């Protein structure tokens, strides 16, 4: 017994998981499109968990063709900001440009003096297509109530349909009437929102709108062979996936047009093992407004696709019913998991919003409904709300309504929009593009890794993706065509950041070695892939690790253990709190505030490593602009 107690004390004193430092020469681990800028980042760590390592680059660098051994390009690294240490990453950085290399092939960047190589990478017009496929298939893995079977799921992640038992999704009850069978609703389907299995109506509606926008902006890349069960049916797979989400939204709509707010589910690994009941929350205005817009975009998009046109009228009617209800009920609130509303334990994330965010949701939905109907009343509503909210500002893409600027730019280019309103939106978008966190940061080399953001907080990877899309959407929206080449290049560096050109040297997608990544996310916070699982915990320590393609939240310099660690958590929590702080992310420069761990409460890894379909949608929308 004494030996066992000693062993337990040793184990609880160990950090949750070691995070390996990044290589000295960083490249996009998948590769580059031939026609765009290409830049290796060389790093000498000065501050942070890897500061004991040191690297002084040599004078001459080369791009080596791995097929022939030939040096196809030579040059010299250039010190970023004259050699100063970057406060955001804690690194001294050099850039090595090899944009002139355009011949397709497999390469490394080599320091000829030091004999150090980067990871191998590909140059090809189609280099990102396999990445898009895996990242898109995350939505399939996140489907609730749908079995996962080979060949669509990798065999390691085969699972029966989840949450289909007694008292679960097919007969979910209202959260405050658990014993009342009259409240039962069939709420099967949809997607798990993030690392747990809950679903939030407003957020699901955002994913529908975001995927449909990504399709509309570059339909050629969204093929019918992405490896989901509907592949080969003559409909682009992204639209089939959207149909899955829309079917759940339709079940969440009441006859009067209002939308139920949230569905809370039990968790287990794998998902089909969850046995607990499912409960839903009542209708609220914010969910109904957001769903009205999603139904409108679906009706407009499906109306142009012959195989789906028969669904268009139904979704148009749903959109208008939801909008009318939200207008008649402008401030119906419901907070889930809230003592004030008596809803403790109903889902985890808070889907309710404040007045300012609700106004932005109304603004987005009004623009989407104008796209469907062309009715002047919706354009007038956009104008009124645009003035009230302040419209597009340089930090618009940072917020929870990160799609606001993109939706409004699309709206501004539609026929029938009042010219003065259209011109103001386009002018504001152009100003945002030229501001400090747009071309201002590009021109000033404001970020050592080439992908400037205002800060590294919860979900920073999604902000990176949206910031990249500020540039790509300018091309889609026709903002200053003279700058389009520069604009696309600027956007590409945000993609490279997510693909490994970052201070952690990580591809921030899970388990992507089969697609070309040398170091991708090995573990993440997700109920299917929990800490300690022999099958799913980590690609380094378990048989399979998490499924591929999940974009994690990313560096978060606000991460902390639960506050109870400073007082008393009780039982297991107190034992875990005796571990030393997890380094990283604790005590690091902002861009190094990321760690490879997936521990639950009270270590709260979800603040760093949890994925979300919100992040996934933002990433897919950016990535799809670079796929051929």
Counting beta carbons within 10 angstroms of the beta carbon of residue 179, is it exposed (0 to 12), middle (13 to 18) or buried (19 or more)?
exposed
Counting beta carbons within 10 angstroms of the beta carbon of residue 590, is it exposed (0 to 12), middle (13 to 18) or buried (19 or more)?
buried
pLDDT at 18: 75
End-to-end CA distance of the chain: 62
| Cα separation, 451 vs 498, whole angstroms | 9
Alpha carbon of residue 183 to chain centroid: 34
Beta strands in 487-628 (DSSP E): 507-510, 520-521
pLDDT at 16: 42
Radius of gyration of the chain (CA): 24
CB 66 within 8 A of CB 107: yes
DSSP alpha helix (H) spans, 437-565: 441-443, 460-476, 484-498
Contacts of 131 (CB under 8 A, 6+ apart): 30, 499, 509, 512, 515, 516, 623
Q: Which of 111, 203, 555, 621 is nearest to 400 (CA)?
A: 203
Token digits of residue 571: 């039982």
| Cα separation, 494 vs 375, whole angstroms | 37
Contacts of 324 (CB under 8 A, 6+ apart): 257
pLDDT at 350: 97
pTM: 0.96
| Cα separation, 108 vs 625, whole angstroms | 25
Token digits of residue 264: 């809370």
Collapsed DSSP state (helix, strand, coil) of residue 91: strand
| Cα separation, 256 vs 573, whole angstroms | 46
pLDDT at 17: 55
Angle at 461 between CA 488 and CA 502, to 5 degrees: 75
Residue whose pair of structure tokens reads 């697609």 in the numeric block: 515
Q: Angle, nearest 10°, between helix axes 129-136 and 613-623?
A: 160
Could you give the domains of the chain?
25-123 (2.60.40.10), 128-352 (1.50.10.10), 360-434 (no CATH)
| Cα separation, 531 vs 73, whole angstroms | 45
Q: Mean pLDDT, consecutive 10-residue segments, the chain of 628 residues? A: 35 55 98 98 98 97 98 98 98 98 98 98 98 98 98 97 98 97 98 98 98 97 98 98 98 98 98 98 98 98 97 98 98 98 97 97 98 98 97 92 96 98 97 93 96 96 97 96 94 98 98 97 98 97 97 97 93 88 94 97 96 98 97
| Cα separation, 500 vs 520, whole angstroms | 8
CB 536 within 8 A of CB 530: yes
| Cα separation, 353 vs 42, whole angstroms | 43
pLDDT at 177: 97
CB 611 within 8 A of CB 524: yes
Q: Pairing relation of β-strands 279-280 and 173-174?
A: parallel
Contacts of 478 (CB under 8 A, 6+ apart): 413
Token digits of residue 190: 């949809």
pLDDT at 572: 87
Phi, psi of 205 (to 5 degrees): -60, -40
């Amino acid at each position: 017994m004494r030996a066992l107690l000693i062993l337990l004390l040793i184990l609880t004193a160990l950090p949750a998981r070691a995070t390996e430092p990044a290589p000295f020469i960083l490249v996009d681990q998948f590769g580059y499109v031939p026609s765009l800028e290409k830049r290796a980042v060389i790093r000498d760590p000065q501050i942070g968990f890897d500061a004991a390592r040191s690297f002084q680059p040599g004078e001459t660098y080369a791009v080596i063709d791995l097929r022939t051994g030939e040096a196809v390009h030579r040059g010299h690294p250039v010190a970023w900001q004259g050699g100063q240490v970057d406060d955001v990453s804690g690194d001294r950085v050099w850039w090595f440009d090899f944009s002139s290399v355009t011949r397709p092939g497999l390469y490394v960047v080599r320091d000829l003096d030091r004999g150090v190589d980067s990871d191998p990478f590909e140059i090809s017009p189609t280099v990102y297509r396999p990445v898009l496929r895996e990242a898109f298939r995350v939505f399939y893995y996140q489907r609730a109530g749908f079995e996962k079977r080979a060949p669509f799921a990798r065999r390691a992640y085969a699972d029966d349909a989840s949450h289909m038992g007694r008292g679960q999704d097919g007969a979910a009850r209202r959260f405050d009437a658990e014993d009342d069978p009259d409240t039962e609703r069939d709420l099967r389907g949809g997607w798990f929102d993030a690392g747990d299995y809950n679903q939030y109506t407003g957020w699901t509606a955002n994913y529908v709108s975001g995927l449909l926008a990504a399709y509309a902006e570059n339909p050629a890349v969204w093929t019918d062979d992405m490896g989901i069960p509907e592949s080969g049916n003559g409909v682009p797979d992204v639209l089939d996936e959207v149909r899955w989400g829309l079917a759940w939204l339709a079940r969440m709509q009441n006859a009067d047009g209002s939308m139920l707010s949230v569905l809370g589910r039990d968790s287990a690994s794998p998902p089909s093992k969850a046995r607990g009941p499912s409960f839903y929350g009542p209708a609220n205005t914010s969910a109904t407004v957001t769903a009205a817009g999603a139904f409108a975009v679906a009706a407009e998009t499906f109306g142009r696709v012959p195989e789906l046109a028969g669904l268009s009228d139904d979704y148009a009617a749903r959109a208008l019913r939801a909008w009318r209800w939200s207008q008649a009920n402008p401030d119906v609130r419901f907070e889930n998991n809230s003592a004030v509303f008596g809803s403790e334990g109903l889902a985890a994330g808070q889907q309710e919003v404040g007045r300012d965010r609700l106004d932005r949701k109304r603004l987005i939905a009004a623009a989407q409904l104008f796209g469907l109907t062309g009715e002047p009343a919706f354009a007038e509503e956009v104008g009124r709300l645009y003035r009230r909210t302040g419209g597009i500002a340089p930090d618009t893409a940072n917020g929870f309504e990160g799609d606001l600027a993109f939706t409004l730019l699309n709206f501004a280019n539609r026929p029938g929009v009042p010219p003065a309103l259209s011109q103001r939106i386009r002018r504001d978008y152009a100003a945002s593009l030229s501001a400090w966190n747009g071309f201002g940061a590009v021109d000033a080399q404001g970020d050592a890794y080439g992908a400037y953001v205002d800060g590294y907080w919860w979900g920073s990877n999604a902000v990176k993706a949206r910031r990249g899309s500020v540039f790509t959407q300018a091309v889609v929206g026709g903002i200053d065509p003279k700058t389009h080449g520069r604009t696309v290049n600027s956007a590409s560096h945000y993609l490279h950041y997510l693909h490994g050109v970052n201070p952690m040297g990580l591809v921030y997608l899970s388990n992507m070695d089969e697609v070309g990544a040398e170091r991708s996310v090995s573990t993440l916070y997700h109920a299917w892939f929990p800490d300690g699982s022999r099958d799913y915990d980590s690609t380094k320590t378990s048989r399979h690790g998490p499924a591929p393609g999940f974009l994690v939240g990313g560096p978060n310099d606000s991460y902390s253990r639960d506050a109870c660690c400073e007082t008393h958590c009780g039982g297991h929590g107190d034992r875990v709190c005796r571990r030393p702080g997890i380094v990283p992310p604790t005590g690091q420069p902002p861009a190094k505030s990321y760690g490879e761990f997936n521990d639950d409460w009270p270590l709260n890894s979800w603040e760093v490593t949890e994925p979300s379909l919100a992040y996934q949608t933002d990433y897919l929308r950016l990535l799809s602009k670079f796929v051929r």
